[in-house]
């Protein structure tokens, strides 16, 4: 059986899928983070582990393409360094970032705008063979509206509740309970020794606080939706989009947190343009299949 391997390597996990030539998912493997900017050696190890597991009991000669969608790979000479790790495969090899992979999954190489809000956040617009990226600066410089951003906002409220000695301390109590801390001072050690995923997970507690009626939590989630909309509108502005244009959304925050999604859509609909927002549940790795098939058909 001839096949294509597509890898989605992000800041939280790496998902690798083996597709047959009809686009059917034959096998899926998940390993640890794949963002090469976090730790290149560990990220590549996780990516190779996933690919190697897919290749078990497979004829290497039947692998027609390997598509690697990796967070952080467009920085410096990262692409070349990654490619050197897969020299044993003589097939077509494509190395792109994870946002480009996800965009291809939704739009199959056609024009459209994808906004992603999971652990991080980014918008990628493709129009007339040109690509425009807004956001995607990582948790230290940006990622507004993301799970990480929501979590940090919630933690800062907890710290403020503690420092002013507020009578009501819902965020502080939620923080202590979520991470099983004995005291707020233990937060420093936790934050500076934890992964992005572990920190971003506190967004779950912020959502729970909103569900319990907390107005501050509601405001944080509304702000997240608005900031994601601003990032999206900036991409549309830079792309000179003046008519109806397809927009897809992806990531746990935009797909699973109603307040964020509602405010995101509301902010976009307040513009003069008409947008078709797509909410389909699509595996990002499917983008690698479409891109590989397109390249293979050229040869």
The CA distance from 201 to 203, in Å, is: 5
Residue 290 placed within a domain: no
65-101 b/e (C-beta count within 10 Å ≥ 16 → b)? bbbbbbbbbbeeebbeebbeebeeeebbbbbbbbbbb
Q: Give 41-47 contacts, CB < 8 A, sequence gap 24+.
A: 43/9, 43/14, 43/70, 44/81, 44/82, 44/85, 46/9, 46/14, 47/7, 47/9, 47/14, 47/16, 47/82, 47/85
Residue 130 placed within a domain: no
Angle formed by the axes of helices 215-238 and 203-211, nearest 10° = 120
Tell me 38's DSSP state.
T
Residue finishing a domain among 36, 70, 96 = 96
- 257, 167: one domain: yes
Residue 274 placed within a domain: yes
- 263, 151: one domain: yes
- 183, 270: one domain: yes
- 192, 69: one domain: no
pLDDT at 108: 86
Residue 250 placed within a domain: yes
* DSSP H or E run through 3: strand 3-9
Give pTM, 2 decimals: 0.84
pLDDT at 271: 61
Residue 52 placed within a domain: yes
- 152, 256: one domain: yes
Residue 211 placed within a domain: yes
What domain range includes position 170? 147-278
The CA distance from 7 to 253, in Å, is: 22
Q: For residue 12, with 0-12 CB atoms within 10 Å meaning exposed, 13-18 middle and 19 or more buried, which class applies?
A: buried
Q: For position 260, which CATH number holds? A: 3.30.420.40
Return per-residue pLDDT of the chain as tens, 299 residues.
899 999 999 888 899 999 999 999 999 999 998 988 888 999 999 999 999 999 998 888 899 999 999 988 888 788 889 988 888 888 999 999 889 999 999 888 788 999 999 888 999 999 888 889 899 887 788 889 999 999 999 999 999 999 998 888 999 999 999 999 988 989 989 889 888 889 999 999 999 999 999 999 999 999 999 999 999 999 999 988 877 788 889 888 998 999 999 999 888 876 655 566 666 678 899 999 999 998 888 76
- 159, 236: one domain: yes
- 41, 160: one domain: no
- 84, 15: one domain: yes
Residue 68 placed within a domain: yes
Q: Provide the number of structural domains found in the chain.
A: 2
- 16, 90: one domain: yes
- 84, 25: one domain: yes
Cβ atoms 67, 96 nearer than 8 A: yes
- 270, 154: one domain: yes
pLDDT at 242: 72
pLDDT at 281: 72
Residue 192 placed within a domain: yes
Separation in Å, CA 123 to CA 14, 74, 189: 20, 15, 33
Residue finishing a domain among 96, 117, 138 = 96
Q: For residue 112, with 0-12 CB atoms within 10 Å meaning exposed, 13-18 middle and 19 or more buried, which class applies?
A: buried
- 246, 151: one domain: yes
* Angle CA 292–295–298, to nearest 5: 150
Provide CB contacts within 8 A for 75, sequence distance 6+: 36, 37
């Amino acid at each position: 059986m001839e096949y294509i391997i597509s890898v989605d390597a992000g800041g939280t996990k790496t998902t690798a899928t083996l597709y047959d030539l009809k686009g059917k998912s034959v096998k899926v493997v998940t390993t640890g983070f794949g963002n090469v900017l976090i730790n290149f050696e560990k990220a590549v190890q996780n990516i190779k582990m996933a690919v190697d597991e897919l290749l078990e009991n497979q004829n290497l000669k039947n692998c027609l393409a390997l598509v690697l969608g990796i967070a952080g790979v467009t920085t410096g000479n990262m692409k070349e360094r990654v490619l050197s790790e897969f020299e044993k495969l003589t097939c077509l090899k494509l190395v792109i970032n994870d946002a480009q992979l996800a965009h291809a999954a939704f739009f199959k190489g056609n024009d459209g705008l994808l906004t992603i809000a999971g652990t991080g956040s980014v918008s990628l617009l493709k129009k007339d063979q040109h690509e425009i990226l807004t956001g995607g600066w990582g948790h230290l410089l940006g990622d507004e509206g993301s799970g990480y951003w929501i979590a940090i906002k919630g933690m800062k409220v907890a710290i403020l509740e503690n420092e002013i000695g507020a009578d009501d301390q819902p965020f502080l109590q939620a923080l202590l309970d979520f991470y099983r801390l004995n005291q707020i001072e233990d937060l420093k050690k936790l934050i500076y020794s934890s992964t992005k995923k572990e920190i971003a997970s506190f967004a779950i507690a912020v959502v729970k606080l909103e569900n319990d009626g907390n107005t501050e939590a509601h405001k944080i989630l509304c702000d997240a939706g608005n900031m994601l909309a601003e990032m999206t509108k900036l991409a549309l502005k830079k792309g000179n989009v003046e008519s109806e244009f397809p927009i897809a959304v992806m990531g746990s925050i935009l797909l699973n947190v109603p307040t964020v999604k509602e405010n995101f859509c509301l902010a976009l609909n307040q513009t003069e343009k008409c947008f078709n927002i797509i909410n389909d549940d699509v595996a990002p790795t499917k983008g690698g299949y479409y891109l590989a098939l397109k390249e293979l058909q050229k040869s």
